[in-house]
Amino acid sequence: MKYFSTRGGSQELTFEETVLTGLAPNGGLYIPTSIPQLPSNWKMEWKDYSFVDLSVAVLSLYISREELSEAELRDLVTRSYAGFRHPDVTPLTKLNERKYVLELWHGPTWAFKDVALQFLGNLFEFFLKRRNEKIKTSGSATEKLTVVGATSGDTGSAAIYGLRGKIDISIFILHPKGRVSPIQEAQMTTVTDANVHNLAVKGTFDDCQDIVKTLFGDTAFNTKHRLGAVNSINWARILAQTVYYFSAYFHLRRSLGLSDNDEVDLQFVVPTGNFGDILAGYYVRKMGLPMTGKLGVATNANDILTRFWRTGRYEKVDSTPIAEAAPSMEPAIGSSDGRQATDSSGVKETLSPAMDILVSSNFERLLWYLAYENVPEGDKDRRGTTGEVVSGWMQKMKSDGRVEVPTAVLEAARRDFCAERVSDEETLDTIRSHYEGSPSYVVDPHTAVGLHAASIMAKHNAPSVTQIVLATAHPAKFSEAVSKALQPIPQFSFEKDVMPEEFKGLLQKERRVVNVEKADPELVKKVIEERV
């Protein structure tokens, strides 16, 4: 299996090159040359597989054996999930006959990004080690990787836990000082491994992101330190996330007691920001896992994706005249002019901050597949033509902040997906109703967005459809929203009902952080030079 860029060009990369490169030089994202189909006996063969067995089976379809032997892959996957607190890694919990949640937060930082970043960290280390063994025999200097990233909380902690203690890798994570939640700050800064460096930058998240972009664009600095990225566009992250769709499917079959010949009507609903988590579901659907229900995109007030599925326009700012807007698009409650607070870039601040985005970086991958379907089969260079189309769309997005796709492309998108937007008010109501429900279940605000969207989508589903909502974080990570929703209930106690034992000592633990007094790339470069 090889990989190529969504923006065209004839270059094809191995899996290893794809993982180590991240973003393609032409600005595109890497996708596989084809989506592998499930082997004919998969359902019987895989049905009792453990999470590790499933990972090996699924990932093997995307990674050629010459690059990673089965034993090597199994070792990487085993080590990646050994630290998860649940034996099923991503267990399925039943809420009612037709609704389940897939708990993706049993990893070290209590959020779904751990599933991919634990694997990515091991993969980086494995590839570097192998390259360095070859280099050593030739007597040249060995390769080192310097991972640099900006975070508003979630990605940073999961990346740090994925890369701590890894040989020949350093990680520098910039966060805006005092602007990440106390738990997230503690999760990041209490990791005291020598290769982990937290930089608290005086400024905003955007300032941090701009600094990181400047460093990646600085060819001399980038080449000298071999900068690596861990953001959600890395193909290995998408790939690792495909596995839990399979594990959920088999858990559900067992839970329903289905016989081998019976099939389940299934819909996955995914709290979505950068479109990485749900994109994995799209690959799984195209591989052949039966999903009668459409993949459900659940967004908060940062609803660029929900608007796309409604209008076919992918645009940063909503250009729909108010009178034409659908009823469920009413302005957010709670501010006099009907608008929610936005930061300098136009991102709305919501109670589900890990989905506060303006554009969705992984959406380009889906656009490629949709565009491809729309290029005539007879085109002699169908892939090349598709790359040109996508490249044109992304250029338009960059220059105009908006692009409209042809009707046939929108129709293709609607065949596989549906989308709903959920307000903060609805998020709080959903947290409350699940706490008061039977079984009483405390959800984090991101999962609540998914659950609310799922209940809207259920109205359009056949009655036989069972929904699985992906639970992306543990509620203790997002205490602001959870407390706001549940504090008014007299018997509720955050300590008792939500807080895991493991969190209790975290705020008191020793911390290591470098303060950067000004949002200046030169200051950050100096810190990296001194410490790498």
Ligand X SMILES: *Cc1c(COP(=O)(O)O)cnc(C)c1O
| Residues 178, 427: Cα–Cα separation, whole Å | 25
Residue 454 binds to ligand X (criterion: CB under 6 A): no
Least distance between ligand X and beta carbon 526 (Å): 31
Q: Is 346 left (phi over 0), alpha (psi -120 to 50) or beta?
A: left
Sign of the torsion formed by the C-alpha atoms of 430, 435, 441 and 445: positive
With CB under 6 A as the contact rule, which of the stretches 44-52, 106-114, 255-263, 457-465 interacts with ligand X? Answer: 106-114
Residue 120 or 355 with smaller CB distance to ligand X: 355
Judged by CB under 6 A, which of 114, 125, 154, 303 binds ligand X? Answer: 154
Residue 432 binds to ligand X (criterion: CB under 6 A): no
Residue 271 binds to ligand X (criterion: CB under 6 A): yes
Residue 166 binds to ligand X (criterion: CB under 6 A): no
Tokens 């709670």 sit on residue: 334
| Residues 209, 137: Cα–Cα separation, whole Å | 39
The 8-class DSSP code of residue 13 comes to B
Residue 171 or 270 with smaller CB distance to ligand X: 270
β-pairing verdict for 295-299 and 514-516: unpaired
Residue 195 or 232 with smaller CB distance to ligand X: 232
Residue 189 or 300 with smaller CB distance to ligand X: 300
How many residues bind ligand X (CB under 6 A)? The answer is: 17
Q: Is 113 a catalytic residue?
A: yes
With CA atoms as reference, report the closest residue to 403 among 385, 412, 390.
390
| Residues 195, 256: Cα–Cα separation, whole Å | 46
Residue 20 binds to ligand X (criterion: CB under 6 A): no
β-pairing verdict for 227-228 and 92-96: unpaired
With CB under 6 A as the contact rule, which of the stretches 22-30, 68-76, 109-117, 335-343 interacts with ligand X? Answer: 109-117
Whether residue 45 contacts residue 39, with contact meaning beta carbons closer than 8 Å, is answered with yes
Residue 354 binds to ligand X (criterion: CB under 6 A): yes
Tokens 């044109």 sit on residue: 392
Residue 274 binds to ligand X (criterion: CB under 6 A): yes
The DSSP bridge partners found for residue 470 are: 102
Least distance between ligand X and beta carbon 423 (Å): 17
The 8-class DSSP code of residue 478 comes to G
Whether residue 54 contacts residue 89, with contact meaning beta carbons closer than 8 Å, is answered with no
Residue 446 binds to ligand X (criterion: CB under 6 A): yes
* Contact flags string 220-239 toward ligand X, x per CB under 6 A: ------------x-------
Concatenate the DSSP letters of all residues of 308-345 into one string.
Answer: HHHHSEEESS--S-GGGS-GGGPPPTTSTTS---B-TT
Least distance between ligand X and beta carbon 121 (Å): 17
With CB under 6 A as the contact rule, which of the stretches 107-115, 194-202, 206-214, 451-459 interacts with ligand X? Answer: 107-115
Q: Which of 2, 47, 113, 134 is catalytic?
A: 113
Judged by CB under 6 A, which of 68, 95, 102, 111 binds ligand X? Answer: 111
Residue 275 or 282 with smaller CB distance to ligand X: 275
Residue 24 binds to ligand X (criterion: CB under 6 A): no
Helices (H) and strands (E) in the chain, counts: 21, 15
β-pairing verdict for 169-176 and 196-201: parallel
| Residues 370, 297: Cα–Cα separation, whole Å | 16
Residue 273 binds to ligand X (criterion: CB under 6 A): yes
Amino acid identity, residue 34? Answer: S
Residues 467 to 496 in contact with ligand X, rule: CB under 6 A: 472-473
Residue 272 binds to ligand X (criterion: CB under 6 A): yes
Least distance between ligand X and beta carbon 140 (Å): 38
β-pairing verdict for 30-32 and 3-5: antiparallel
Judged by CB under 6 A, which of 355, 394, 412, 524 binds ligand X? Answer: 355
**Residue 49: half-sphere exposure toward Cβ, Cα within 13 Å:** 21
Judged by CB under 6 A, which of 156, 228, 276, 281 binds ligand X? Answer: 276
With CB under 6 A as the contact rule, which of the stretches 56-64, 130-138, 270-278, 373-381 interacts with ligand X? Answer: 270-278
With CA atoms as reference, report the closest residue to 113 among 497, 498, 446.
446
Residue 277 binds to ligand X (criterion: CB under 6 A): yes
Catalytic residues: 113
The footprint of ligand X (CB under 6 A) covers 111-113, 154, 232, 271-277, 354-355, 446, 472-473
